Each structure stands twice: as structure tokens, then as C-alpha cells.
């Protein structure tokens, strides 16, 4: 099986490393298709690919599976670019962190005889780029696939096989539901974390003291605000309506706590916090 990975950053590089490790006696060949020539050398030297080229057309020629791992705003342009060069039966998948728009447009952009299956590994890091890639990034983690009524069963099986090689646990979801889910557990929390940090940044009084007293609670609650801002821009622009929906739900939730604090009834406050504790513990144990 020839597998082309377009975009060799944190995600593309980690997929390459995991596939190469899993290849063993399987007949797998991983072709890396980055933007810059020097990335081909780097990816070869860390063992993330078997061969590489910056020529996208050459990279996808003869590929059975193509993974688009570029920044999210390039996924559809790249797909349109490679479409005429895909072999009959080729399956294309992506790793973009929002799905509804990509899947609906990609299904129309793949040529007849080739197939598209949307995907999103629920794994990552605050730091990106190839230097951060690791073979174990997806091990045991959820990898969402977003088949629709138009998805070929055979193509889905191929992508499921590939995801299995990464050691991930597969979850299938409608693309729109996926976008709401990631808005709730990933994108909206980033907005909240950034807002928390900026609340201190713009404090009218005591900012220096706040900074010096900020201990592990503040650090844990705001960790994701230290991620690459470019990823956040991608999340908020490509998943706008779901993020806004979840932000509105968050404001309601915050409003409820604000009201309880104003009322000052310790029992009611405790009940609200207990509800959150029990639910959080049921997620993380």
C-alpha cells in the first residue's frame, strides 16, 4: 500500500513515524509531501517517511491512500490540486480539526473513482512542527472518522485500517456533531482560557501581585492559552457557528454561578460545584 502524507508537521510527521513503525512485514510505503525541500531530508532522517518530494502531483501518483495534514485552510485547496492526479480507487482523508465544511466540499471535489473520508485525531500538543512529532502521539487516543451517506464502505474500511495502525481508538460521528463536540471540549475551552488570562492582563488594579500569586490552579486552568495562536485562529474561523453556540451555553452556565454567588447561599453554591465535580470525575476518573 502506498500512503502519501501531504504536510509533514506535528500531525503528518507523527502519522509517518507511527506508520513506519507499524509497517514491519506489511507492504507499506510512506511518501512524504511537504512544502519545503529541507523537510524531506528532516523527515527521512527521523524515519517518518520512506521517500519524499515537494512535487504534490508526483507525491500522490500511484498512492492508494492520501492523508492531507496541512493547516486547515489549505486542506480543500490541496485536495482540488491533487484531484486530477489521483489514481482510480484512491482514498483521501484529512486530519483537520473541524469537519462539516471540509467534508461537504471534499465529497464534491474528489474525482469519480476516488473517495474521501473525513478524519480528526483527537491528539495534539501545544507545540507543533515536525520536530515535535512522535510515533506514540495517537496511541490509545480517539480518532474521529466522519463518514456520511455518500461515503464508500470500502474507502471507510481502508481509513479504519490506517487508523488502526496508529494505535488509535476509532469513533464515527456525523461531521456536524463532530464540530459541536470539538467546540465544546476543545475550541470553546481555548476561548475561555484566553479570556481568563486576558482578564488578569487587563486588571485595573493588582496585576503584578496577581501574576506573582498565580499558582498551579491558574496554570492548569489556562494551559491551553499557551498554544500556537495560529491553531486557535483556525478553530474559531472554521468552526465559528458551533463555537458561538457553545460560548453562549458557557455564558449561561457562568451566569448561573454568578447568580448563586450574588445570592450567597452556601448550600446552593455547594450543589452547583458538586455537580461539576461529579461530572468531571466521571470523565477523568
Residues that bind ligand NAP (CB under 6 A): 6-12, 34-36, 39, 69-72, 74, 95-97, 120-121, 124-125, 128-130, 231, 234
Least distance from C-beta 106 to ligand NAP, angstroms?
Answer: 13
105's CB contacts (< 8 A; 6+ apart) are: 76
Least distance from C-beta 54 to ligand NAP, angstroms?
Answer: 8
Task: Indicate the residue among 56 and 151 with the shorter CB distance to ligand NAP.
Answer: 56
Least distance from C-beta 251 to ligand NAP, angstroms?
Answer: 26
Task: Indicate the residue among 16 and 34 with the shorter CB distance to ligand NAP.
Answer: 34
Task: Indicate the residue among 142 and 192 with the shorter CB distance to ligand NAP.
Answer: 142
Q: Which residues of 33-52 are buried (b: 16+ CB within 10 A; e: fewer)?
A: bbeeeebbebbeebebbbeb
Rounded Cα gap, residues 24 and 83, in angstroms: 30
Burial of residue 125, with CB atoms counted within 10 A of its CB: 0-12 exposed, 13-18 middle, 19 or more buried: middle
Task: Indicate the residue among 126 and 201 with the shorter CB distance to ligand NAP.
Answer: 126
Least distance from C-beta 74 to ligand NAP, angstroms?
Answer: 5
Task: Indicate the residue among 238 and 260 with the shorter CB distance to ligand NAP.
Answer: 238
Query: Is-contact 94 68, C-beta < 8 A?
Result: yes
Structure-block grid coordinates of residue 134: 512522535
Structure-block grid coordinates of residue 35: 512544502
Least distance from C-beta 44 to ligand NAP, angstroms?
Answer: 14
Q: DSSP letter for 85, please.
A: G
Amino acid at each position: 500500500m502506498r500512503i502519501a502524507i501531504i504536510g509533514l508537521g506535528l500531525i503528518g510527521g507523527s502519522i509517518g513515524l507511527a506508520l513506519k513503525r507499524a509497517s514491519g512485514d506489511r507492504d507499506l510505503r510512506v511518501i512524504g509531501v511537504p512544502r519545503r525541500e529541507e523537510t524531506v531530508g528532516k523527515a527521512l532522517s527521523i524515519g517518518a517517511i520512506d521517500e519524499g518530494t515537494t512535487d504534490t502531483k508526483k507525491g500522490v501518483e500511484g498512492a492508494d491512500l492520501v492523508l492531507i495534514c496541512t493547516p486547515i485552510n489549505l486542506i480543500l485547496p490541496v485536495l482540488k490540486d491533487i484531484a486530477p492526479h489521483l489514481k482510480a480507487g484512491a482514498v483521501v482523508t484529512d486530519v483537520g480539526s473541524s469537519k462539516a465544511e471540509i467534508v461537504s466540499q471534499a465529497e464534491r471535489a474528489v474525482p469519480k473513482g476516488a473517495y474521501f473520508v473525513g478524519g480528526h485525531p483527537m491528539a495534539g500538543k501545544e507545540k507543533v512542527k515536525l520536530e515535535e512529532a512522535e510515533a506514540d502521539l495517537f496511541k490509545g487516543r480517539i480518532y474521529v472518522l466522519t463518514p456520511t451517506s455518500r461515503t464508500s464502505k470500502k474507502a471507510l474500511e481502508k481509513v479504519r485500517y490506517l487508523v488502526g495502525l496508529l494505535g488509535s481508538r476509532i469513533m464515527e460521528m456525523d461531521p456536524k456533531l463532530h464540530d459541536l463536540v470539538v467546540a465544546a471540549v476543545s475550541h470553546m475551552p481555548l476561548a475561555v482560557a484566553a479570556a481568563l488570562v486576558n482578564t488578569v492582563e487587563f486588571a485595573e488594579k493588582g496585576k503584578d501581585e496577581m501574576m506573582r500569586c498565580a499558582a498551579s490552579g491558574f496554570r492548569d486552568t489556562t494551559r491551553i492559552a499557551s498554544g500556537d495562536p495560529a491553531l486557535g485562529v483556525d478553530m474559531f474561523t472554521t468552526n465559528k457557528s458551533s463555537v458561538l453556540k457553545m460560548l453562549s451555553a458557557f455564558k449561561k452556565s457562568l451566569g448561573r454561578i454568578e447568580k448563586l454567588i450574588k445570592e450567597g447561599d452556601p448550600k446552593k453554591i455547594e450543589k452547583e460545584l458538586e455537580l461539576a465535580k461529579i461530572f468531571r470525575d466521571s470523565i477523568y476518573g
